[in-house]
Homo-oligomer: A and B are copies of this chain.
Amino acid sequence: MSTKLNHIAIVVHDIDEALKVYSETLGLPLQKVNEEPAEAVKVAYMPTATGEVELIQPITDDSGVAKFLAKKGEGLHHVCLEVDNIDESVSQLAAAGLEVLGQVRTNKRGDKYIFIHPKSSHGVLLELYEKGE
């Protein structure tokens, strides 16, 4: 197993304002800003040589991310760990009594992902990710 840090995602009210800090002032390299309708968010992708920083802004009022922002305010939303075999990881999580959210899903690029409830991962919402073929 060679688990890696893939990205962290920070939820913000206004992605353009946040980019002034993270990209213009601090120098994280902005690759693109995309709307991701499946998750009801706009995402600024800032890949670095050592993992990606994402800013996410809800584009509806009723998504999970929108509710997170309304309840907790701006800040870290989740940390994504890239694993070799997500099904194997999920089995190990289950064996350890840890709680995942829903089932493993596959995005349009063929990547697989699932989230782990923060109460099972010491207060951090974790995404597990397996890159598609």
Contacts and interface: CB of A to CB of B under 8 A. Distances in A.
B75 A21 contact: no
Contact of A26 (B11, B21, B81): B81
Interface residues of A, number: 50
Copies of the protein in its oligomer: 2
Nearest to A79: B8
A93 interface: yes
Secondary structure call for the A interface: mixed
Given A75-B118, A76-B76, A123-B74, A27 B10 contact: no
A130 interface: no
Interface of A: 1-6, 8, 10-12, 17-18, 20-22, 24-29, 48-53, 55, 73-76, 79, 81-84, 89, 92-93, 96, 98, 118, 120-124, 126, 128
